[in-house]
Structure 1
Amino acid sequence: MSRRPMLWGLIAGLLLAALLAPWTGTALGALAKARSARAAALAVAAAPSADVPVLRPELAFAPGTAAAGVRARIERLARGGGVLVESVRAAAAPPPLVLVELRLSGPEKAVVALADALERERPLVRFRTWRIVPAEGGGVRLSGTLVGAVR
């Protein structure tokens, strides 16, 4: 193979790179600005803001009673709906939040109605994660994590 076509291709490539350099530099500069703006926005979002309440006070639990309040609500609703409470325990959570892990079993309609009632009552709690699976001997088992807020 002759070296002449390779030399012409190399010269054409260098000439094309030189012609496109201004637009490439502008695009790389815009990319760097966008990356720095994204990093600044992520830093602001990650900064803790302890002064801002998570919920309105009437929707949150009173300090010191959150985990016990959630447990009492679960047991009251389970007793009224014919659902077996297998386990209820508090989990570690950041200061304004309260996490409660639970496992319930019973007839499907009763378990779903209990989960609905848990989320509808005040103070506010929501399922962070949940899973319903068939239980041995009929019925279903609901396991999940409830999250609520403290005033």
Structure 2
Amino acid sequence: MLLFLAPERPQVESPQRTVAVVENDASVRRSVVRLLNANGFATEAFASAEAFLSHADASQFGCIVLDIHLGGISGIELWHRLKASGSELPVIFITAVEDEALHVEAVKAGCIAYLRKPFPAALLINAVDRALGL
């Protein structure tokens, strides 16, 4: 993953700029968190959908970067549960699997972006900016 640093982006810790990262692969999770932190975003990382559901309040985040293929509850299922609970949290799906049907389902679920791993850092930063309305 390439590091992309956006110019003049101050570090601001607020719910509107805090990004939840839900990724079961520890190295990918660390990389995404480091990339987002280096670009001025506060982050909170979770290793599973279950960890997110038991430890997080979706309203404390500006958006979520969500792996589709998690052990246990999938990213798509987590997103459906969040929506069913009334959450309007913008989602950026990430996946290592090329699956057109899954891509269509993610788009229908209302994702901001659908990124295939490995993805250019700039695509993720641009997607988070869009999700946060920056």
Place the TM-score, normalised by the shorter chain, in its bin.
under 0.3
Structure number with higher helix proportion: 1
Q: Give 1 or 2: higher strand fraction.
A: 1
In the superposition, the TM-score normalised over structure 2's length comes to 0.27
Q: Normalised by the size of structure 1, how large is the TM-score?
A: 0.25
Task: State the structure with more CA Rg.
Answer: 1
